[in-house]
Structure 1
Amino acid sequence: MIDSDIKFVRQLFDVKKGLLKDIENYANEKFIPIIKPEVARFLETIVKIKQPQNILEIGTAIGYSSIIMLKAYKNAKVLTIEKDIDMAEMAKINFIKASLIDRVELVKGDALEVLPCLSNKYDLIFIDASKGHYKEFFDESLRVLNDDGILICDNILYKGYVTNEVHVKHKRRTIVYRMRDFISYVLDRKDITTTIIPIGDGLSISVKEEKND
């Protein structure tokens, strides 16, 4: 989408007031990355369609996207992983304010260490964490994703750098190259069906194929 399209769509889904707006304002003031309004609406829509009982989120930040998903379906529960202790504590406060704390399991730790320890299965998984480790996150997530489950990754186009090599700064090139490799990796896999959606900072959405016994 061109900039005018993005601005128009983003304004359509902008939250005007309430806790989510407060969280959004705080995130903007403190330069904390959270999902864009159009991505929030997309995530909300997917949850309403899928109606997942169990959701796994990698990258809690301050709880914004977890709250979006939990509000979209009243029977959903979320296990969310956050490495930054301060942000995890802030997320906990926001879950309490939203009266959703009883439906959240917040794990403080490195997802690369936490994910291999998970044994429960999930209907929906949302990845929004360290871009340099998306492949590792994806592989471990796919292991615990139910058949016909949905796996969504945010920031796939990484600030537009993934599609525009000319303006990639040297310090960002490694992440950009890894993200390009990751996109090819998920699109080439035969056990999932994946598409790329150019909203927000780019999303990939994958559906795990049902195994035929």
Structure 2
Amino acid sequence: MSMSLVFQQRMQELYQNFIKFDALQTDRIQRYRNIEPDSALFLAMQIRIQQSQSILEIGTSTGYSTLWLADAAQETQGHVTTLEIDQFRTTQAKQYAQELALDHVIDFWVGDAQNFLENSANHYDFILLDAERDAYVDYWIFLQKMIHPQGGVLIVDNVISHAVEVKKFIELVEGDERFISMTLSIGAGLFMICYK
């Protein structure tokens, strides 16, 4: 059954809980910093439209976006691999995935995303990049090889809200003639990249 009312209601509850938690944190790193609901819905629709099979998320946090990706992946018979450096957050995300019976379509990988990217030879139909923004420039050398040349897409979150922090990364992508890209003013700003 596609995107049930139960799923939508639970996601709304989780988002409210995460927002409340973030409001109480003085240290940015302690915040969950989950993706906005509009962005999450857009990503879930994009996976359905593309009929994405292999999905990679860089930055699980507490799994809010992961659950949206997994719900869509369940529809396309796809699979989500999600990367997170923080074991505690991954444990939280796993619990939500089990609760919503989505854990069978998700692989949770704990560690530094750089290590995963350096050692991955896979192509992905859909990649969401929503991690520590100062690492994006270093990630690009690996990510560009991981975007599936036939219809794969890389989507980067927070490109309007944190424009200064992603400026170098965006310039790098825009300077690469093999790719086309654009910024969508959805949520905190999504930057979409695909091969020409």
Q: Secondary structure at the match of 2:152?
A: strand
Residue 45 of structure 1 aligns with an amino acid whose one-letter code is M
Look up the match of 2:55: 55
Deviations 1:49-70 (A, max 9, x none): 1111010000001111121122
Task: Give the drift of 1:72.
Answer: 2.1
Look up the match of 1:104: 106
CA distance in 2, matches of 1:140, 1:27: 31
Q: When the two structures are aligned, how many residues end up with a matched partner?
A: 179
Look up the match of 1:171: none
Residue 139 of structure 2 aligns with an amino acid whose one-letter code is F
Matched, 1:179 2:170: no
Matched, 1:155 2:158: yes
Matched, 1:128 2:130: yes
CA-atom RMSD in angstroms: 1.8
Look up the match of 1:88: 90
Distance 1:206 1:69, change over 3 A: same
Aligned counterparts, 1:23-62, within 5 A: 23-31=14-22, 32-62=32-62
Structure 1 unaligned segments of length 5 or more: list them: 1-14, 163-175
Q: Is residue 53–residue 76 contact of structure 1 (8 Å, CA) maintained in 2?
A: yes
Structure 2 unaligned segments of length 5 or more: list them: 1-5, 23-31
Q: Secondary structure at the match of 1:143?
A: helix
Aligned counterparts, 1:169-208, within 5 A: 176=164, 178-208=165-195
TM-score (norm 1): 0.78
Task: Give the drift of 1:27.
Answer: 0.9
Q: Is residue 82–residue 111 contact of structure 1 (8 Å, CA) maintained in 2?
A: yes
Structure showing greater radius of gyration is 1
Q: Is residue 124–residue 152 contact of structure 2 (8 Å, CA) maintained in 1?
A: yes
TM-score (norm 2): 0.85
CA distance in 2, matches of 1:151, 1:84: 23
Q: Is residue 55–residue 123 contact of structure 1 (8 Å, CA) maintained in 2?
A: yes
